[in-house]
Structure 1
């Protein structure tokens, strides 16, 4: 029995070896393409495609398939662009590839931005792969170039990228961002890139597409900042995404406040962690945003001022849930205004340096539990109960 078993195994090995000798290197014994080999072939095509894009070699790019992205990306200053194939799925005579795209914008990203993409692939008569389409993966947000050709305007401290926007409009955004960066640095410090990338889509729907969420979530929201929070100091993918439909309705001061607010999020990203409550991160961004504008508390916090006038002083600092974009607009405005007044109170009564130190101290904790309490004690020498009572009195005094 043992000898017969060895013979059977040897016969099987011989057949397997024969299969390897007889079939082309891209096929298995059943004649179908080998998944691993096809995946490697596709990877090589995408490597050539990426190199052609970086080299501005349109002919070489065309040789790898669809040139739609080349035309749309030509104005984007790229330091790197790399695809990594993570899965390959046969589809008729072609396939779809799951990929991770990483890229860096020259002068602005200190580490690559990573996004998931799904590529549709075809094959020529001699079996060569080529790209027919390059789209966001399921449940992944769009990239700006998915919405049309990208136009770029470079400011002193900013890069503004737009779709469907004129040069004059992008220049106006850059001027506001260029003023925001030094304002933030004076208050927060210079331990950040001191550069900001602003994305200006064509419409509210375009903004929602970039964020991968329904447009109704952002109606009336002038801008948001995307990025990975954390204390590593490598959160390089921050992008300020503008809602042009809401932004255009703001006055000059309002537009500046919005871009300075969002730039503050870029600056503080590495120190904004799971321990940081939204009343602090949003309140601090508003506090810097309003610096030098001359806005009084009642002008900057009109919804909370109306509530106080009606005898409704909030009993507690805003909770994270109060900042949801789908919240009642009045309630959402009051949450932002309450956070702003808390940070303004710290700056008024403890000093601006203590406010920044408090922010860093809270973000230095790994978890939310105990973070604010510890920072209040260490930096401000107070307790949550005393701080809340002091804030309630400050709100009442400032808004009446």
Structure 2
């Protein structure tokens, strides 16, 4: 049986956590109170453009030319950060200046959105918001960076945590910090096995490859997500990215918590990565209308599809509840999937979603399950999405479906 702590971990996705980061609106623009003159904004933008070109050419001198010569500590940190990027295959790196505010004579603070792509893996730029402090040298008239930090609630970057090791798999690219090459190869091997399994269950167009980040510690994982480390101590992996149609192509990453992931046996690791990669594959068919029980249950259905686990083995918490006579009255709610420290409630939510998707596949067929998923995600909003898809795709009602689901719990778990 899969370790329960790790099993729960593999099913939590972080798309919502990064939605604000990836879709953040622009900050103050010139003309707002405190905004710097247009000429200053143009000068700062020129500094950032030269800096971006230096990153792509790995030109250390040009990169450091933007940093204040007197800021020895910052120059050392910036040099180290560029060195950490040496093996990362970048296809683009740009800075979008979203606001410049004067902070006194010859001092400004710039709000910047860093956008970059990993070659061969990012269909759209990943982005992270940064705040830069700059000063103008009166002797040469040039602007220099004197401070570089994450924006409020913004996530960090893997290469800020150390030198990045790169492992290329058949269907995966694994970037790790503080992890051994052999460990990263094993993760790549598991991801390479998971990608075809996902494609077999989700025969819809998707990239057919996955980018996996493996930070050194759970605290580093949380740093990438801009959240406290306590939120992820029992989480083996999360998926980042934004939901939406093809016109909003995502830049997905699967981020592994090496401690929790390492506690799992091979089966558990396969289930974790297959689940998370399913989120990557289904991203463009997933929307705000998609109920959490459906998105998480479908990912589990794909993950267990070829593993030969019985319902009791794969749903131990719900099975125990059913045997105690605690049969759920309704499908799991979105709130049931909140990581509140109640691991049993969270486990039962995932297990209930998995069994609901399994019911659709078994009773109506796998093609109907796929059609139902797409129909819910294609609805204009959350209200009525499941109800309409059940009527149009499954020719049933939520009441009838819930009754069938409860009966399946009795028969399969009792």
User: CA separation of 1:121/1:150 partners in 2, compared to 1, >3 Å: closer, same or farther?
Assistant: farther
Give the CA deviation at 1:73.
1.6
Structure 1: where are the runs of 5+ without partners?
Answer: 1-32
After TM superposition, give the deviation of residue 106 of structure 1 in Å. Answer: 0.6
Q: What SS does structure 2 have at the residue aligned with 1:366?
A: coil
Per the TM alignment, residue 327 of structure 1 is displaced from its structure 2 partner at its CA by 4.4
Deviation per residue, 1:149-194 (Å, 9 max, x gap): 2222121111111111111111111111111111111111141111
Seen in structure 2, the aligned counterparts of structure 1 residues 246 and 34 have a Cα distance that, compared at 3 Å, is closer
**1:46 matches 2:48:** yes
Of the candidates 355, 371, 374, which is equivalent to residue 360 of structure 1? Answer: 374
The runs of 5 or more residues in structure 2 that have no matched partner are 1-34, 68-74
- Greater CA radius of gyration, 1 or 2? 1
Match of 1:104 among 102, 117, 126: 117
Aligned residues: 368
TM-score (norm 2): 0.85
2:403 and 2:46 map into 1 onto residues whose CA distance is: 63
Cα displacement (A) at 1:389: 0.2
Paired position in structure 1 for 2:285: 271
Taking the aligned partners of 2:345 and 2:40, their CA distance within structure 1 comes to 55
Kept in 1, the 8 Å contact 2:36–2:102? The answer is no
Once the two structures are overlaid, the 10-residue window that deviates more, 282-291 or 371-380, is 371-380
Q: Distance in 1 between matches of 2:114 and 2:36?
A: 24
The residue that corresponds to 1:381 in the other structure is: 395
Query: Which deviates more from structure 2 when the two are superposed, residues 121-130 or residues 355-364?
Result: 121-130
Moved more, 155-164 or 384-393: 155-164
* Residue number in structure 2 paired with 1:313: 327
CA deviation after TM superposition for structure 1 residue 136, in Å: 1.4
Q: CA RMSD in A?
A: 1.7
Q: In structure 2, what is the Cα distance between the partners aligned to 1:354 and 1:276?
A: 16
**Cα contact 1:231–1:363 (8 A) shared by 2:** no
**Offset at 1:381?**
1.4
Shift of 1:127: 2.4
Secondary structure (helix, strand or coil) at the match of 1:210 reads: helix
- Matching residue of 2:4: none
Aligned to 1:20: none
Q: Secondary structure at the match of 2:248?
A: coil
* Paired position in structure 1 for 2:17: none
Give the match for residue 17 of structure 1.
none
Per-residue deviation at 1:69? 2.7
Distance apart, 1:105 and its partner CA: 0.9
Q: For 1:241, which of 255, 258, 263 is the aligned residue?
A: 255
User: Contact conserved, 1:227 with 1:235, CA < 8 A, in 2?
Assistant: no
What does residue 81 of structure 2 align with? 69
Residues 152-301 of structure 1 correspond to what in structure 2 (within 5 A)? 152-232=166-246, 234-301=248-315
- In structure 2, the CA distance between the partners of 1:34 and 1:211, relative to structure 1 (3 Å rule), is closer
Distance (Å, rounded) in 1 between the aligned partners of 2:134 and 2:167: 34
The 2-side partners of 1:85 and 1:376 are apart by: 46
Are positions 1:326 and 2:340 aligned together?
yes
Q: What is the rounded CA distance, in whole Å, between the counterparts of 2:211 and 2:372 in structure 1?
A: 27
SS of alignment partner, residue 234 of structure 2: coil
- For 2:36 and 2:331, how far apart are their aligned partners in 1? 60
Cα shift at 1:391: 0.3
